[in-house]
Structure 1
Amino acid sequence: MKLSIQKDLLINAINMVVKIADKHNQRVAILENIKLVLEPNILTLTASDLEVELTATVRLPDNACIKAGSTTLPAEKFFGICRALAGDIATIDAEDGRCIIGSDKGKYNLKSRPAQDFPSIGVPNNTVPLSIDRTDLFEMLGHTRFAMATQDVRHYLTGMLLEINEDKLTAVATDGHRLAVAHRALSKSYDSWAVIVPGKAIVELERLLADLIKESKEGDVVLGIDNDFLQVSLNFSDEGELGGISTTLTARLIEGRFPDYRRVIAVNANRSAVFNKEELVNVMRRLSVLNSKDSPGILFDFKELDRVKVSVRNSYQEEAEEFLPVNYQGEPLEVSFNEAYLRAVLRTLEGQVYLGMTGDVNPVLIHQVNDEMNHLYVVMPMRV
């Protein structure tokens, strides 16, 4: 294959897919490469880890394709070379296991591998298309993604549950210590279904949606879902920074039984507290000076109705405390949280924040006041 292309366009296309390339798969080493397929007016770049596959399709001007063909190149080296390449036009010339990447100012010679050796994640069949506003989907992922487990023997906890119930889409994530739920209304009703999407796919989809929203906040995206895959295609306008590129994300769904989040959020609170989010965050920031990994707790002592004592104590027996205004209802209670878990929830909220509690070791329901129909959170307390 032989290609002449605007360097910035090529860099943008590589950037779309490069993070999916699997650098640590010793069994299928070619997954550290990006596959390139060149046709007369289209260049397609694909990266995969066999769980998630990302494809960027670039529309080419006439005469950009000098010789159609295909190859695979080491993802990080290829990306680094293209970014370092002098000049505005990049050329790619691949043949017989070698690839020359260059411009009129220099060239780099890379080892390549045949495109036919690059494995496919598979092709979805009989997908059910779900249309949702791009901003709604982006906000749902942003409000829940942080609660996914990063490593867990319960593999389903490393993904996100997407659930349809008639005209409502629900996104749920949990790592067993905290749970995040987001709801959005849809423009029409669908048959009910629920799937678990890999965490890596969620992270990449959120990133791609952020780029799409930079161009325009208005418009829908379509999720295609079958029994095995989620597939999403995003098209960028010609006028935008990523003009001429379209991207398709395909993810193999996670098998497993996701926890019943409805039971978890059914907190029948007999104690409640309402804070100002910014005031609480500022108190936590100041007290965190004495917190550490082995002493991550932050203690709330609800003895008064109009203020709460917030304190930390580390393994060196060092202590700090402050009082915070609060609207509290119920019997006195001491409850301790992992500061990082509580802080992650607070990042998604604004204004007045509600805590619903039943005891010092029972799940605590958290939401923004007057926003409980869209976003709900549960955090498990630490033992005092």
Structure 2
Amino acid sequence: MKLLINRDLLIKAMSLVVEASDSRHRMPILRNLKLTLTPNQLTLTASDLEVELTNHLVIGEGVCLEAGEMTLPAEKFFGICKLLPEEMVLVESDKTAQRCYISSGKGKYTLSTLPAHDFPSIGEPEGQQAIKVGLGALFSLIKHTRFAMATQDVRHYLTGLLLEIEAQNLTAVATDGHRLAVAHRVLDEDYAQTKVIIPGKAVGGLERLLLDLAKVSHEDDIVSLGFTEEFLYVTLNFAGEMVIHLTARLIEGKFPDYRRVLPVGHDKIAIFNKDEMVSVLRRISVLNTKDSPGVILSFNEPQVAQVSSNNREQDEAVEDLPVNFTGEAIEVSFNEAYLRAVLNVLEGDIRLEMVHPTSPTLIYQVGDDHAHQYIVMPMRV
């Protein structure tokens, strides 16, 4: 295999897939990036057998000097290419396919390779149900919910994002047991009822791809999501120059019924400006520690709330926040990071609905028509 390619184009193509590789994977070949070269196309594939990313890059005349395929260490190859000083890069394997030579200007680098035919495939889509959703809508769903996923939990289904499809309704749900994020979007057509749990790594990868795609596409452009019992399949077209395929193994398990968690009958309601609250939380949280992560919201007056924090060193911070509060006085303590993470994905005026200092608190954006709903569990003081 022999390839002469523009360095920036190669870096861009690799950057879209390389994060699917795992430099510590127990299978050495999955620490590698697979390159498949034909006269018209360079295909880059990275996988950890849970998530697979494939980039089909259209190439011009003179790029393919000798068709073939190989795998080489993803992290090292990407790192070398990012630091090369010259515009053009020559990548070629030796006749034994055990070495790869990377040349640019006066520099020459040699990397060990592994046989491309040993690179495993995660699977091909068969009998999939596909839905169509706007690029901007899908990105927004992920942005408004992903932060609430658990990162490590024996309940493995909490480390993923639930996608629920019912007729024209698409709902994304994430929870780590301490907070819950729910976002809704309306689809252009009806689809059969489907529930899948997408693993966190795939959610993060898809979010990054959608963000990159938004730079060359319109937010109303359509993305196709395909589902089987085991896999998610996504195809993204980057202006006809690159076609990215994301394949992810779905998480098995029964996701909690989020509808039963959403509380009703709140009689204590506080409305405040998001930016004002976030500013207060940033200042108050200076005193927070790992052992004292809480912030206390005291609602005793109709127009002013007291926001306070203290720690084991008996440091204390108190600030007043303008609010519109109705109901009996209440004092509620939250994990400051959890509360601020919710506020960071919302805008304008925010509504808190409370019942009891230890009951789930419902948070949403005023005028949002409940497109985004959040639950944060209070801390016990």
Aligning the two structures, in what range does the TM-score lie when normalised by the shorter sequence?
over 0.9
State the AA in 2 paired with 1:32. Answer: R
Partner residue in 1 for 2:39? 40
State the AA in 1 paired with 2:22. Answer: D
> Within 5 Å, which residues of 2 pair with 1:76-155?
76-95=75-94, 96=96, 97-155=98-156
1:178-232 deviations in Å (ceiling 9; x for gaps): 0101100000010111000001101110101011111232311110111111111
Pick from 285, 295, 320: which aligns with 1:298?
A: 295
2:130·2:227 contact (CA, 8 Å) conserved in 1?
yes
TM-score (norm 2): 0.97
Partner residue in 1 for 2:10? 10
Is 1:249 the counterpart of 2:221? The answer is no
Q: Following TM superposition, by how much is the alpha carbon of 1:104 offset from its aligned partner in structure 2, in angstroms?
A: 4.0
2:352 match: secondary structure: strand
Q: Following TM superposition, by how much is the alpha carbon of 1:25 offset from its aligned partner in structure 2, in angstroms?
A: 1.5
1:321-366 deviations in Å (ceiling 9; x for gaps): 1111111111111110000000000001111100011111111000
State the AA in 2 paired with 1:287. Answer: I
Q: Hey, what's the Cα distance between the residues in 2 that align with 1:149 and 1:126? A: 31
Runs of 4+ in 1 over 4 A off after TM superposition: none
Q: Hey, what's the Cα distance between the residues in 2 that align with 1:111 and 1:289? A: 49
1:73·1:111 contact (CA, 8 Å) conserved in 2?
yes
Q: Which deviates further from its counterpart, 351-360 or 265-274?
A: 265-274
**Between the two proteins, what is the percent identity of the paired residues?**
56
1:134·1:221 contact (CA, 8 Å) conserved in 2?
yes
Pick from 212, 236, 239: which aligns with 2:238?
A: 236
Q: Following TM superposition, by how much is the alpha carbon of 1:274 offset from its aligned partner in structure 2, in angstroms?
A: 0.6
Q: Hey, what's the Cα distance between the residues in 2 that align with 1:162 and 1:262? A: 14
Pick from 348, 357, 380: which aligns with 1:351?
A: 348
Q: Which deviates further from its counterpart, 196-205 or 304-313?
A: 304-313
Q: Hey, what's the Cα distance between the residues in 1 that align with 2:92 and 2:59? A: 16
Q: Following TM superposition, by how much is the alpha carbon of 1:282 offset from its aligned partner in structure 2, in angstroms?
A: 1.4
Q: Hey, what's the Cα distance between the residues in 2 that align with 1:268 and 1:73? A: 59
Q: Following TM superposition, by how much is the alpha carbon of 1:301 offset from its aligned partner in structure 2, in angstroms?
A: 1.2
Q: Following TM superposition, by how much is the alpha carbon of 1:4 offset from its aligned partner in structure 2, in angstroms?
A: 1.2
1:166·1:190 contact (CA, 8 Å) conserved in 2?
yes
Pick from 331, 334, 337: which aligns with 1:334?
A: 331
1:76-112 deviations in Å (ceiling 9; x for gaps): 1101111222322111111320011113432111111
Partner residue in 2 for 1:363? 360
Q: Following TM superposition, by how much is the alpha carbon of 1:373 offset from its aligned partner in structure 2, in angstroms?
A: 2.5
Is 1:73 the counterpart of 2:75? The answer is no
Q: Which deviates further from its counterpart, 63-72 or 253-262?
A: 63-72
Q: Hey, what's the Cα distance between the residues in 2 that align with 1:221 and 1:105? A: 43
Partner residue in 1 for 2:221? 219
Kindly report the root-mean-square deviation, in angstroms, between the aligned alpha carbons of the 2 structures.
1.1
Q: Hey, what's the Cα distance between the residues in 2 that align with 1:58 and 1:107? A: 24
Q: Hey, what's the Cα distance between the residues in 2 that align with 1:184 and 1:22? A: 33
2:309 match: secondary structure: strand
TM-score (norm 1): 0.96
Partner residue in 2 for 1:241? none
1:7·1:89 contact (CA, 8 Å) conserved in 2?
yes
Partner residue in 2 for 1:21? 21
Q: Hey, what's the Cα distance between the residues in 2 that align with 1:36 and 1:106? A: 21
2:272·2:322 contact (CA, 8 Å) conserved in 1?
yes
Q: Following TM superposition, by how much is the alpha carbon of 1:265 offset from its aligned partner in structure 2, in angstroms?
A: 1.2
Q: Hey, what's the Cα distance between the residues in 1 that align with 2:369 and 2:322? A: 22
Partner residue in 2 for 1:320? 317
Partner residue in 2 for 1:377? 374
State the AA in 1 paired with 2:101. Answer: I
Q: Hey, what's the Cα distance between the residues in 1 that align with 2:22 and 2:283? A: 40
2:364·2:370 contact (CA, 8 Å) conserved in 1?
no
State the AA in 2 paired with 1:353. Answer: I
> Within 5 Å, which residues of 2 pair with 1:169-184?
169-184=170-185
State the AA in 2 paired with 1:99. Answer: C
Q: Following TM superposition, by how much is the alpha carbon of 1:60 offset from its aligned partner in structure 2, in angstroms?
A: 1.1
1:48-78 deviations in Å (ceiling 9; x for gaps): 1111000111111123212111110101110
Consecutive unaligned residues of structure 1, counting only runs of 5 or more, are 239-243
Q: Which deviates further from its counterpart, 88-97 or 148-157?
A: 88-97
Aligned residues: 378
1:164 match: secondary structure: strand
Q: Hey, what's the Cα distance between the residues in 1 that align with 2:326 and 2:44? A: 58
Is 1:64 the counterpart of 2:66? The answer is no
2:40·2:60 contact (CA, 8 Å) conserved in 1?
yes
2:367 match: secondary structure: coil
1:215 match: secondary structure: coil
